[in-house]
Every structure is written in structure tokens, then in C-alpha cells.
Structure 1
Amino acid sequence: MEPPASRKTRLSPNKVSLSVNAGNAREFDLWRSGYSPIYEMDAESVAARSSFKAGLTGYNLADVVIIDGYSSAERLRRTAQTIARSSVDHISLTVYSEGGSTLDIEGRAAEIRPGDIFFLDMTRCSALRASDYKSMTLILPRTLLAPHVANLDSLHGKILPGASPLNEMLAAHMRMLYTKAPALDVPDMHAAARGTAALVATLAGASVDGRELISQVAVSASLDTCRRMIDATLHDPALGPEFLCNRLGVSRAKLYRLFEPLGGVSQYIQQRRLMRAYRIVVDPTHAGERISTIAARCGFTNISVFNRAFRQTHGVSPTELRIVSTSAALDDSELSGDGAFRTMKRWLHGSDAGVTLSAAE
């Protein structure tokens, strides 16, 4: 059998390095663009853009992204519009080694201090106002966490205090994952991704504050049930407020209250349909499937309406996206410099998980 060292190709962890030098307006604009799938970002003020500096190094490990970074003070907002434009369906965990932020979760404010780990659901709104900081962020697909967490909605805005022993264990795992990422081969990446998801679910669930859980469990469980029903029936053109009310036995008023923080139930359904369509279009196993068939699988009965909504949300037509996603594999120019900003954007959309690169042993 051929020894591992002589293999010609392998799945790279796709190391990406980005940086913004103070006073470089072009790099600042690229930075903002690279982050656009997850946040609308800006410096603390218009004047502060001229002195803004930031950088990160990250790895994509079988759809799990681990990032070590730093930044000048900034403002980050994930609005209903940002969510609608992106196909990001992930949970993020961030820990600051220096600095901190004020976090606003759908009207609830909290202070994040060095050492705290905070969770954000990228399908829901949030806003951060951060001071100068250094941080590590772990981003996991909801689908990877779902088998381990009974109620994923309870994680949004959750904070594990820095003094917690379980926090220390999770932060240590994040640092170790980042350190070992360059050495992981394909099986190791998938094993690390699954193990990380299980560990996150176990430690986060074990640290839930009882009083907070009791006060939120009824609403959260109801919202989670609705979201699961929506994801299970996206293919059905009849899916809508009346459909959900009849299937789940809830009033229209209650349904609207549940989805108000997510931009409304109809918008949420449209967002999930377009998110699923995006993932099917970029999936190489569906490369031969007609766009009209994909549209129907996602609940669209009119291909023109689907194409228009897809372009509005993702900035390209389904056909154009398919061409881009099946183009040549990443080369070195896409892993550093200006190209890295585009790569980060694609990472967060989930379209680079299967890229094969030549090994640089």
C-alpha cells in the first residue's frame, strides 16, 4: 500500500490568512466584503476606518471553521436582511483572550469579558460592539450539532463564564483544534468535526443556568418545533402560516410572535428554502440535476420566481453559482492576499468543503 507521505493529493484544511493594515482603505473594504455572509461590519466610527487594523488565520475542517484573529474596535450586526442574503446555517462560539464586547440578542443586552465563551445562531439576529480584541472563533453547521442538542434555539446568546471549569475545557479544545489543524488528513478532519460538535453540545448543555432555562423553555421549545416542521416540509408548496397553524395546533398570533425575532414566519420560510437550494446547487452530487427540479424540491412552483428570489438573495443566478462552484480548485493565490477574502466568503457559504489541493509536503 502506498505510504501516506507519497500521496499526490489530499483534502486541505484550507488555511486562509487575511489582514488589514492601518490606513489601507482597499483592504478595509475587502475585509468588510469577506465578512458579509455573517455580519455587516464597520469600524467604531467613520474616522476610525483610517486607523483600523485586523487579521485572522483560519482553517476549514470538513465544514467546521476555526479562526484565530484580532481587530481594532468594530461594530458587527447580523440583521434579517443579512440572514436573508446569506446561506449560512451555523452556530458560532467565540472567546476573547483580550478585549470584549457588548452583545445585543434580539433586544437582550449582555457584556462579554475576556475568557467568556458566547454562542450565536447565525440564522437569528444579533449585534456586537467590540473594543480592540484578540479572539478565537469556532463555527459549526447546525446539522452537525442537531443530533446532540435537543433545543438548538437555546444556544443563541448563551454565555459560558470564563471562571467555569467547563468553559476552560471547551476553550482548551478550541486552541488544540487550531494548533493541530494543519496536520489533519481527511478522516481526521471528519473525526475532529464530529468530536468537536459532541463536546460543544455536552459542555454547553451542562452549563445552562437553570433559572434562565426555566424562563425560556416553553417559548424556545415551541419555536424549535416550528423550525423543525418547516425544515421537514420545505418541499411542500403549501407550507406557510396557515399550514403550520393547522399542523401544530397553534394560533396565527402565537406563530407570528414566535417568528418576530427572525423577521417573520413567511420570510423565514423563504430564507430556508433559498438556503437549501443554495446547498443543493453547489453540491457536486447534484451537478446533473435540472435547476427547475431543485426549485421544485425547495417548494417553488414557478421557476421565474425562484430564479429572481435566488439572485436577489445570493447575488447570482443558480446557473451562474453552479458554474463558479464547479470551476477549478483553489490555488495558492486564493489562500492569501486579496483572493483569501473571496475564499473566506465561500467558506462561510459552505461551498469549499470538498476542495482538493496538491499536497505541499
Structure 2
Amino acid sequence: MLRTFSADGERGDPGRAAGNRGPERRLGPLVLGAPHAQEGIEQRPAAHGSREAGEDFIIQLVLAGRLDVDTYGAIGRVGAGEIVLFDMRRPRRTEACEVLTVVFRIARDALEAAFPASHLLHGAVLRPPHAGLLAETMQVLCHHGSLIPEAQGERAARVFAEMLAITLHAAGWQPGRAVPAGDPAGLARARRLVEMRLASADLGPALLAAEIGVSRSRLYDLFKPLGGVSRYIQERRASRLHDLLCAPHETRSVAVLAYAAGFATESHASRTFRDVYGIAPGRFRRLRREAGDAPGALPSPDVMADGEALVPAEP
């Protein structure tokens, strides 16, 4: 029987998901965990406290059982042999039924060096046969990761990130192009600045280029894999608006939340949100309220954008 490992480093609420979690092993920016059986409900807000925790992604392979996933925008089911990814900056809820699992955690910068479009990956599900590429890699590292010298940890993490990117590309996830050669750090700096200045009306190519010390043409080259500078900024603002709409105690109007997310007008916010998620923000909020904001009772994935939605849950 296959052994299972966990490395998300999180702790569930009392009486929620049950499982025995052992010590973790770190390979540079990649964390491997101990055998893990998961049962019950876990509900995670977006990471707020530790900056380091919020910079990580979770890669969870289900070996047996069923994992129902709710990313507060899409719902789905992950079965044996399938892999789901979570962005720890964003909220999620899972319900495990007799799950045996392997869970890795990887730093955002390490992942984005291989796959720049990390903003597409919260709730992404990899299914067979493509999931097998990454699943085998995960199990090999689980069983034999202790043989890797500490000095080679960074290298091992890069290899894992590349295999994750290869698997995503093979499964049809975008973008299909790599970061422009020679400056992954420049793209990472620009993206961090976008997050810091997202609510600012001045945020744009001119500001970004000046702040990170590159020409505007070089900035455009850096963001080509993500669809362009302006498109990336608007997608991030739509994501920020989405998270605000999903906040349990948020009562401000859609217009106020749109401004808080950095949009100049409510109409622009509505168009962009619809382009990204396939539904207007007002309707998205209304459907959530009609469902009582209950996790799991959300707009179905068929009204979400392909890059954000989980596949529909099985009946």
C-alpha cells in the first residue's frame, strides 16, 4: 500500500479535520511532510499573520478517499490519483471523507520562477493521466527525500517546480510560455509591487517600470507570459474584489468595494470581474447571500472563468 505524507504545516480547528501529522522536511523553498490521514472539515481564511505562510502554495495529492473543495467562488471534488493546488493568500474550505493524502508546500517565488501565472492556480485540479507526472515525483520525494543533502535542497525544489510546471502545461493550463530569460527576479519584484499598489489609481506600466528600474519595453516583455501588464493588473484587481465580496462580514456596497480594489469606476469593475469570473459582481454577491453565505453553497463552477473554477462536483 502506498504511504502518505503531509506538509501544509497548518492546524485545524478543534473538532474539525482529524489526522496525525508528523515532522516536516525542508528542501530549500519546498516542504515535505509526514504521513497524513485526513477526515472531516477544514476551513482556512486567507493567510494574514505570517508573511512567509502567505507566500506559499499547497500541492495536495489524494491517494484514496474523496476531498470536496470550496474556494469561495467555485466548488469541486478531488478523488484518488488527482491533485489540487491552493494559494495560501486565499480562503478555502475542504471536507475529507476517509482521505489518504500527500501534501507539499512550496514558496511562491519558487513556483513562479517555473510557472508565472500562479494567480490561475487557486483550486486548480490536475486529473489523470497528466496528474501522474507530478504524483510519481511527489511520492519519490516522500520516500527518498531524506537522501537529498541539505546543500542540494534549493536545486531539488527547482526540479520539483519545473515538474509541476510541465504537468500544468501538459494538462492545458496557461500560460504555455516561460518567463523571459535572465530576469525572473524582475518579474517577481514587479508582481510584489502590483500587490502593494493595487488600490492606487496611479498603478500602471509607467509607475511599475520606474519603481523596479527597467524600461517600459522591458516591463512589457516581462509580463508577456501573463497576457500583458495592464491585463495582469486588472485580473489582480478582479481577484481582490472577489475576495472582498467573499469576506463573511463585509457589508459595503459593490461600488465601494470596487474602489477599494483599485478600479476607477463600478462599471469598469463589473466588466473586468465578468471577464475573469464569468459573472457580474453584484449577481455573484446576491447568489452568495441567497445561499446564506454557507461555504459550499456558492455559484456553481459553470458560471466561473475556466482559469479559476474547479471542475463541477460529482452528483
Amino acid at match of 1:43: G
The aligned residue for residue 78 of structure 1 is 44
The separation in 1 between residues aligned to 2:112 and 2:88, in whole angstroms, is 14
CA radius of gyration, larger in: 1
The separation in 2 between residues aligned to 1:137 and 1:99, in whole angstroms, is 15
Cα distance, 1:127 vs structure 2 = 1.1
Which runs of 5 or more structure 2 residues have no equivalent in the other structure?
A: 176-186, 208-228, 245-256, 263-315
CA RMSD of aligned residues (A): 3.8
Structure 1 residues 125 and 228 mapped into 2: Cα distance closer, same or farther (>3 Å)? farther
| Among 206, 229, 243, the residue aligned to 2:202 | 243
Cα distance, 1:54 vs structure 2 = 2.3
Task: Assess if the C-alpha contact under 8 Å between 1:42 and 1:74 holds in 2.
Answer: no
The aligned residue for residue 201 of structure 1 is 165
Structure 1 residues 207 and 41 mapped into 2: Cα distance closer, same or farther (>3 Å)? farther
Relative contact order higher in (CA < 8 Å, ≥ 6 apart): 1
Superposed counterparts of 1:205-354, under 5 Å: 205-208=169-172, 229=190, 231-232=192-193, 240-244=199-203, 257-263=238-244
Task: Assess if the C-alpha contact under 8 Å between 1:43 and 1:72 holds in 2.
Answer: no
Amino acid at match of 1:193: A
Structure 1 residues 85 and 43 mapped into 2: Cα distance closer, same or farther (>3 Å)? same
Residues 84-141 of structure 1: CA distance to partner in whole angstroms, max 9, x if unpaired? 2232111111112122211012221101111111111111221111122221111111
Task: Assess if the C-alpha contact under 8 Å between 1:43 and 1:73 holds in 2.
Answer: no
The separation in 2 between residues aligned to 1:184 and 1:57, in whole angstroms, is 17
The aligned residue for residue 143 of structure 1 is 109
Structure 1 residues 104 and 228 mapped into 2: Cα distance closer, same or farther (>3 Å)? farther
Which runs of 5 or more structure 1 residues have no equivalent in the other structure?
A: 1-16, 19-33, 214-225, 270-361
The separation in 2 between residues aligned to 1:239 and 1:111, in whole angstroms, is 32
1:110 aligns with 2:76: yes
Structure 1 residues 42 and 153 mapped into 2: Cα distance closer, same or farther (>3 Å)? farther
Residues 125-161 of structure 1: CA distance to partner in whole angstroms, max 9, x if unpaired? 2111112222111111110111221311122111111
The aligned residue for residue 29 of structure 2 is 63
Cα distance, 1:188 vs structure 2 = 2.4
| Among 15, 20, 38, the residue aligned to 1:43 | 15
Task: Assess if the C-alpha contact under 8 Å between 2:57 and 2:88 holds in 1.
Answer: yes
Amino acid at match of 1:99: G
The aligned residue for residue 175 of structure 1 is 139
SS at match of 2:203: helix
The separation in 2 between residues aligned to 1:201 and 1:160, in whole angstroms, is 12
Structure 1 residues 200 and 249 mapped into 2: Cα distance closer, same or farther (>3 Å)? closer
Superposed counterparts of 1:180-191, under 5 Å: 180-191=144-155
1:90 aligns with 2:56: yes
State TM-score, norm by structure 1: 0.49
Cα distance, 1:183 vs structure 2 = 1.8
The separation in 2 between residues aligned to 1:125 and 1:131, in whole angstroms, is 20
The separation in 1 between residues aligned to 2:29 and 2:189, in whole angstroms, is 22
The separation in 1 between residues aligned to 2:41 and 2:121, in whole angstroms, is 22
Residues 318-351 of structure 1: CA distance to partner in whole angstroms, max 9, x if unpaired? xxxxxxxxxxxxxxxxxxxxxxxxxxxxxxxxxx
Cα distance, 1:174 vs structure 2 = 0.6
Residues 4-36 of structure 1: CA distance to partner in whole angstroms, max 9, x if unpaired? xxxxxxxxxxxxx99xxxxxxxxxxxxxxx625
Cα distance, 1:230 vs structure 2 = 5.3
Amino acid at match of 2:242: P
SS at match of 1:65: strand
